[in-house]
Amino acid sequence: MRRSRIPFYLLVGMLVFLYLPLIIVIVNSFNMSRYGGQWGGFTLKWYSRLFSDRTIWYALGNSLLIALTSTVTSMVLGTTAAIALYRFKTRLQSAHRLFIHLPLVMPDILVGISLLLFFVALKVRLGLFTIYLAHVTFCISYVAMVVLGRLQDFNYAVIEAAMDLGASWPAAIRKVMIPMITPGIMAGGLLAFTLSIDDFVITFFVSGPGSATLPLYIYSMIRHGSPMVINALTGIFIVFTFTVVTISKKLLEEK
């Protein structure tokens, strides 16, 4: 049968669509003139201006602090949830599964406003701590889904064998199951870290004075700051992302 070439052309078109704006921004980050309507000559001044900005490093520090703490918390909670969902088929677990699924489909703005209203109603002071609580809340579900995916290939007979050999159930879980699903837990953690460090909408709603994270800072730069400095930041982001992806791909291939 003659296959149509149309799907392939559409795929290529889509990739061009995905990358063209990013490429234009990178080229522009070396452009002397603002907005890059025309080429005003090569410059690195936007990059040097970016690096001399102290607030950005402060915001990055906040972002990393929140991403690390919420990743660790959600890895623990997400893993226990996944084990419960995998092991028990009770009515409690149907409710548990629904609770885990709901945050995945809820639009960010609703998660953000609901937590803001909740914190305001309880008179909780907004700041890094409320951001941490919000981030754990949306990360748990992603970690649980990734770990649960990994558990689908797990053979429970291994746990039964460990128990026949005298291990208690908690010990069998801790010493046999957890080590075997560690790659899944790590993958879930990596996803949680990325989501946390990238989140803007939810953070925007639950942040307080002095708790700006990197995305909040980028937003205020887009609204009020110099666009050329953000071009430079975009350039760094893209190069950084490609490097991380290439390295992790190399590491996975060598295994």
Partner 1 sequence: MKRPNSKIPELALSLPTMGWLVVLFIIPTIVILLIAFRTGDPYGGIGDQWTVENFSELANPVYRGIMVRTVVLSVLTTAICLVLGVPAGYCLARAEKKKRDFLLLLIIVPFWINFLIRIFAWKVVLHPEGIVKNFLLLIGIVNDQTLLLYRPGTVLLVMVYSYIPFAVLPIYAAAEKFDFSLLDAAHDLGANWYRAFYRVFLPGIRQGILTAILVVFIPALGSYVIPDIVGGPGGEMIGNKIAQKTFIDRHLPHASVLSSLLVLAVMIPMTASLFMKRRKTVGRGIIPG
Question: Residues 154-158: contacts with CB within 8 Å, 24+ apart?
Answer: 154/86, 154/180, 154/181, 156/87
**Which of 50, 75, 111, 151 contacts partner 1 by CB under 8 A?**
111
Which of 66, 115, 131, 146 contacts partner 1 by CB under 8 A? 115
Residue 121: half-sphere exposure toward Cβ, Cα within 13 Å: 6
Contact pattern from residue 127 through residue 166 relative to partner 1, giving x for each residue in contact according to CB under 8 A and a dash for the rest: ------xx-xx--x---x---------------x--xx--
Q: Which two tokens mark 223?
A: 């609204």
Binder of partner 1 out of 99, 158, 178, 183 (CB under 8 A) = 99
Residue 194 Cβ vs partner 1, minimum distance, rounded to whole Å: 7
Residue 83 binds partner 1 (CB under 8 A): yes
Nearer to partner 1, 32 or 201 (CB): 201
Q: How far is the CB of 65 from partner 1 (least distance, A)?
A: 18
Sole binder of partner 1 in the list 45, 57, 88, 182 (CB under 8 A): 88
User: Binders of partner 1 among 51-80, rule CB under 8 A?
Assistant: 77-78, 80
- Give CA separation, 197 vs 59, 79, 122, 172, in Å: 11, 21, 26, 34
Among 43, 93, 208, 226, contact with partner 1 (rule: CB under 8 A): 93
Minimum Å gap between C-beta 162 and partner 1 is 11
Binding to partner 1 in span 185-224, by CB under 8 A: 194, 198, 200-201, 205, 214-215, 218-219, 222
Dihedral pair phi/psi, residue 125, rounded to 5°? -75, 130
| Interface with partner 1, residue 229, by CB under 8 A | no
- Cβ of residue 142: shortest distance to partner 1, in angstroms? 12
